[in-house]
């Protein structure tokens, strides 16, 4: 009985040591990840955040269970300690088996995407410049051989080519936006992917056509300059203004023209993927000569982020925009362009490393650590953890939230000021995108926040778009014909009043 009791006590202590070792090892992993996430943050800022809280708790756990294990070993002396060798071996093999299983599982279920290898909706860092450059060259080669609706522009980055046609909308452009939403809206994104695959166009159906001036048009190669109108309206913006996923007749620009009636001409200068900066530069270069009575700048929240980019393939990872783009900064309280004229796409993809690209540190979407290869990146489980819980980025004064607000705010003010100086009436219209219905309020309000702070009047189309049922509001990510028609009706009276004034 006495021997049996000793064995039970020893077994109980072995289990305690085993559990303590597991907790100790798990705490060590969490502590390491917390330290990694700290990055360049000051220690007090780090400790005040969620990663800092985890760090404090796991350090306490490390200390506590280290003491527990030492106590259990010392309590039984050297001879009794030998009985715990099987426990230590069991712990070691369990940990090895868990790591090996995780490594095999992640490798088996990692899929290749245009952005890089992905596991559990997470792109695994480090990213490969060789792969990005090769894909960029392939897109450029295909465009050269088959033609492209979007063309390189040394001042704007890219623009709509003159007299072009496209048989289908840019699926990759839509997919890369979906990839940005994946972590926040996984189920919604899965639904979008299914919808995207269902949307088909007949092989002979040209959904996008451009005029000789490079504007969205009902017929390829037509000219708008020969069309007389009592009132001319120019609209600027991104894919929501351009009318991605719908035909010319179904865009809000064309619907606005019809709603206004005879004597009005609406010219669509929208371009897929544009930020506020590119829309403003397009206005300055391409619209002023048309002398429109009214010029409407349409924006979504994401356009302000795009303004802070330098390279389209970073701003839209996985998309088919292999172009550099202009980048404004504030210099002496005025807008200043960093990088115009822009380098050619061929020269960009000829670089041996992404860090060789000019002004790369001024691109909001660039994080140096995401492109640096380390020996431990051979282990996929480590890559996944480091990708899922990224390090706090290095501070860069040109890509802070304050910089984003000040640059975009000055662009809005410059747009309004220039339009008025040239005899046009400016309008800024804020469009809600599909992610806005589920995103947090601080992100929802970034465009309106900047416009208000800049004292720039604007029209918010959220209430207008809300008139359409959520299920009928979008095609995939962009407005449906019904939503575009509703927006046109909402804008009609304001435009008429401004044209009369």
pLDDT score recorded for residue 204: 44
Q: Provide the H-helix boundaries in 273-425.
A: 276-282, 302-306, 312-315, 345-349, 380-388, 401-421
**Does 206 lie in the same domain as 159?**
yes
**Does 196 lie in the same domain as 231?**
yes
Which of the four pLDDT bands, split at 50, 70 and 90, describes residue 235? very high
pLDDT (tens digit, 9 = 90+) per residue, 154-197? 999 999 999 998 754 455 455 545 554 544 444 454 455 455 44
Domain annotation covers residue 123:
no
pLDDT (tens digit, 9 = 90+) per residue, 397-439? 899 999 999 999 999 999 999 999 999 999 999 999 876 654 4
Domain annotation covers residue 116:
no
Helix axis angle, 85-109 to 380-388, nearest 10°: 70
Domain annotation covers residue 117:
no
Last residue of a domain, one of 61, 77, 109: 109
Last residue of a domain, one of 65, 81, 109: 109
Higher pLDDT residue, 369 or 41?
A: 369
Specify the CATH number for the domain of residue 396: 3.40.50.1110
Domain annotation covers residue 473:
yes
**Does 52 lie in the same domain as 194?**
no
**Does 439 lie in the same domain as 310?**
yes
**Does 44 lie in the same domain as 11?**
yes
Q: Is the pLDDT of residue 440 over 60?
A: no
Last residue of a domain, one of 79, 109, 139: 109
Domain annotation covers residue 97:
yes
Q: Is the pLDDT of residue 205 over 80?
A: no
Domain annotation covers residue 122:
no
Full-model pTM: 0.84
Cα separation, 23 vs 398, whole angstroms: 43
Instruction: Please check whether residue 363 is in contact with residue 313, taking contact to mean a CB–CB distance below 8 angstroms.
Output: no
Domain annotation covers residue 23:
yes
Cα separation, 406 vs 341, whole angstroms: 23
**Does 91 lie in the same domain as 144?**
no
Domain annotation covers residue 119:
no
**Does 23 lie in the same domain as 151?**
no
Domain count, the chain: 2
**Does 202 lie in the same domain as 245?**
yes
Q: What would the mean pLDDT of 25-52 be, rounded to a whole number?
A: 86
**Does 138 lie in the same domain as 99?**
no
Which residues constitute the domain of residue 228? Answer: 129-500
**Does 133 lie in the same domain as 88?**
no
Residues with Cβ < 8 Å from 160, sequence gap 6 or more?
Answer: 149, 150, 151, 210, 214, 215, 216, 242, 271
**Does 292 lie in the same domain as 204?**
yes
**Does 320 lie in the same domain as 420?**
yes
């Amino acid at each position: 009985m006495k021997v049996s009791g000793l064995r039970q006590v020893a077994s109980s202590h072995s289990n305690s040591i085993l559990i303590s070792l597991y907790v100790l090892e798990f705490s060590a992993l969490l502590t390491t990840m917390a330290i990694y996430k700290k990055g360049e943050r000051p220690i007090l800022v780090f400790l005040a955040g969620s990663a800092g809280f985890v760090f404090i708790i796991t350090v306490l756990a490390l200390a506590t269970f280290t003491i527990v294990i030492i106590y259990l070993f010392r309590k039984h002396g050297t001879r009794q300690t030998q009985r715990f060798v099987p426990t230590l071996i069991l712990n070691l093999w369990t940990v090895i088996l868990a790591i090996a299983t995780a490594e095999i599982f992640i490798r088996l279920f990692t899929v290749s995407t245009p952005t890089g290898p992905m596991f559990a909706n997470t792109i695994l860092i480090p990213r490969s410049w060789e792969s990005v450059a090769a894909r960029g060259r392939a897109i450029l080669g295909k465009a050269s051989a088959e033609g492209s609706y979007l063309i390189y522009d040394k001042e704007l980055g890219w623009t709509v080519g003159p007299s072009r046609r496209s048989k289908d909308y840019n699926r990759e452009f839509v997919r890369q936006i979906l990839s940005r939403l994946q972590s926040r809206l996984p189920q919604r994104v899965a639904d979008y992917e299914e919808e995207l695959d269902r949307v088909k166009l007949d092989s002979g159906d040209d959904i996008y056509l451009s005029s000789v001036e490079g504007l969205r048009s009902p017929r390829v190669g037509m000219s708008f300059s020969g069309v007389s109108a009592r009132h001319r309206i120019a609209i600027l913006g991104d894919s929501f203004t351009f009318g991605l996923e719908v035909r010319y007749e179904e865009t809000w620009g064309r619907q606005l023209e019809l709603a206004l009636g005879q004597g009005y001409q609406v010219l669509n200068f929208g371009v897929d993927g544009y930020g506020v900066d590119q829309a403003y530069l397009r206005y300055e270069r391409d619209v002023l000569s048309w002398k429109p009575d009214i010029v409407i700048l349409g924006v979504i929240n994401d356009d302000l982020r795009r303004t802070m980019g330098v390279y389209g393939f970073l701003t839209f990872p996985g998309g088919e925009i292999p172009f550099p783009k202009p980048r404004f900064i504030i210099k002496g309280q005025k807008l200043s362009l960093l990088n115009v004229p822009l380098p050619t796409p061929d020269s960009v993809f000829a670089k041996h490393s992404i860090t060789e690209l000019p002004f790369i540190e001024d691109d909001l979407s660039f994080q140096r650590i995401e492109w640096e290869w380390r020996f431990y990146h051979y282990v996929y489980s480590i890559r996944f953890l480091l990708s899922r819980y990224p390090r706090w980025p290095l501070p860069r004064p040109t890509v802070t939230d304050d910089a984003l607000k000040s640059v975009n705010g000055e662009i809005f003010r410059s747009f309004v000021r220039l339009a008025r100086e040239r005899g046009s009436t400016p309008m800024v219209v804020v469009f809600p995108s599909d992610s806005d219905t589920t995103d947090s309020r601080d992100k929802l309000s970034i465009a309106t926040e900047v416009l208000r702070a800049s004292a720039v009047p604007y029209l918010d189309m959220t209430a207008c778009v809300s008139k359409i049922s959520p299920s009928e509001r979008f095609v995939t990510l962009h407005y449906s014909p019904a939503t575009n028609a509703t927006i046109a009706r909402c804008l009609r009276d304001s435009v008429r009043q401004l044209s009369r004034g």
